[in-house]
Amino acid sequence: MSLNFKSQLENMDGVYSALFAAAEKIYGVLKKGEGLKFATSSNESGDDQIELDVIADEAFFETLSKDPFVRYVVSEERPDMVKTSDGPYSVALDPLDGSKSALIGIPSGAIFGVWENADEAKDFHGGNILSGGFFVFGMNLEVYFADGDKAYKGQFDDASGEWTLLPFEGAMPSADILAINGQMQKVWPTWLQNYVSDNLQATGGKKPYNMRWFASMVSDMKRMVLQGGLFAYPGADFKGYETGKLRLVYEAIPMAFLIHALGGSSTNGEMSLLKMPVDKLHQKVPVFIGDKAKIESLESYAAKG
């Protein structure tokens, strides 16, 4: 691996090297078609795992545990925090996001966040996160992340073994694209039903929103970063969906951190995802991430109830 990237954050270069090295290993396994069958296990949230979930989790733990600046590694696939050193940083991971989608060829990926001064669950809030983003395991191995207040995109070259990373320039794009799964729409909060219905109507010459849904957060967020729009995974009045399915620490906060660095915004319907208190590591939360105007509009609907 050749990663010519210098973080603006102190002692973070080795953390990035560990993250990128693990992503390369996972992508290599995926390209061979290995690990794409269900394992005889489930993760801490009760989701069925495929073999690659376990492989990905172990790959990140192997590389990150060697860096002396990584204090804790926590993962969606494991019940508790694992201490690896007395360093200043703690890393939270969804090691293989979209694993079920990978079974049918939709790109999966990995989501990561790096926090400082995080020694217990409540410390993994948005005020302590320093870096967040995601890898995409698709036609190419790609990365999108924020290092502090600066956002980057990159691609791995298999032939040379080198990463090319470029900073994002200009404002976050805006597009009338809504990434949401309509399965539970009849039991969404009334305000959300109204928001979606209003934006799907072609009235007054206004073109309705375009709906797209990969069922792979990294794929939906890649489109968001490159094209704009709104990503939504709400709660619903249905057993098991009361607060949605996405985890605040492993998915929501890292993705929100990246989008905020790009000039976008986030909410759970009431407040920014970066301002939400964390009660437990595997806490679930309704997630809405997108450009500021769409988040403001959505929150206005939520306020009306």
pLDDT digits (tens, 9 = 90+) for 190-209: 999 999 999 999 787 889 99
Specify the pairing of strand 108-116 against strand 89-97: antiparallel
Instruction: Clarify whether residues 152 and 236 are in a common domain.
Output: no
In a domain, 79, yes or no: yes
In a domain, 4, yes or no: no
Residue after which a domain boundary falls, among 167, 189, 206: 167
Instruction: Clarify whether residues 112 and 219 are in a common domain.
Output: no
Instruction: Clarify whether residues 293 and 210 are in a common domain.
Output: yes
Instruction: Clarify whether residues 265 and 129 are in a common domain.
Output: no
Residue after which a domain boundary falls, among 133, 167, 201: 167
Instruction: Clarify whether residues 185 and 143 are in a common domain.
Output: no
pLDDT at 13: 97
pLDDT at 49: 65
83 bridge partner residues: 72
- The tally of domains found in the chain comes to 2
Domain ranges, residue 18: 13-167
Instruction: Clarify whether residues 126 and 229 are in a common domain.
Output: no
Q: In angstroms, how far is the first alpha carbon of the chain from the final one?
A: 51
Residues 254-290: pLDDT tens digits?
999 999 999 999 999 999 999 999 999 999 999 999 9
Instruction: Clarify whether residues 69 and 190 are in a common domain.
Output: no
167 bridge partner residues: 152
Band (pLDDT 50/70/90 cuts) for residue 40 is very low
Among 1-10, 177-186, 264-273, the range scoring the smallest mean pLDDT is 1-10
In a domain, 3, yes or no: no
CATH number of the domain to which 152 belongs: 3.30.540.10
Instruction: Clarify whether residues 160 and 184 are in a common domain.
Output: no
Instruction: Clarify whether residues 28 and 136 are in a common domain.
Output: yes
Residue after which a domain boundary falls, among 167, 197, 232: 167
In a domain, 96, yes or no: yes
Instruction: Clarify whether residues 203 and 158 are in a common domain.
Output: no
Alpha-carbon distance of 40 to 42, in angstroms, equals 7
Instruction: Clarify whether residues 187 and 145 are in a common domain.
Output: no
Check whether 71 has a pLDDT greater than 90: yes
pTM equals 0.94
Residues 86-117: pLDDT tens digits?
999 999 999 999 888 878 888 999 999 999 99
Check whether 84 has a pLDDT greater than 90: yes
User: Concatenated DSSP letters for the chain?
Assistant: -B-----SSTT-HHHHHHHHHHHHHHHHHHHTTTT-SEEEEE-TTSPEEEHHHHHHHHHHHHHHTT-TTEEEEEETTSSS-EE--S-SEEEEEEEEETHHHHTTT--EEEEEEEEES--SGGG-STTTEEEEEEEEESSSEEEEEEETTEEEEEEEETTTTEEEEEE--SSPP---EEE--GGGGGGS-HHHHHHHHHHT---TTPPPPEE---S-HHHHHHHHHHH--EEEE---SSTT-BTBS-BIIIIIHHHHHHHHHTT-EEESSSS-GGG----STT-B--EEEE-HHHHHHHHHHHHH-
CATH number of the domain to which 189 belongs: 3.40.190.80
In a domain, 198, yes or no: yes
In a domain, 150, yes or no: yes
Instruction: Clarify whether residues 190 and 163 are in a common domain.
Output: no
In a domain, 2, yes or no: no
In a domain, 8, yes or no: no
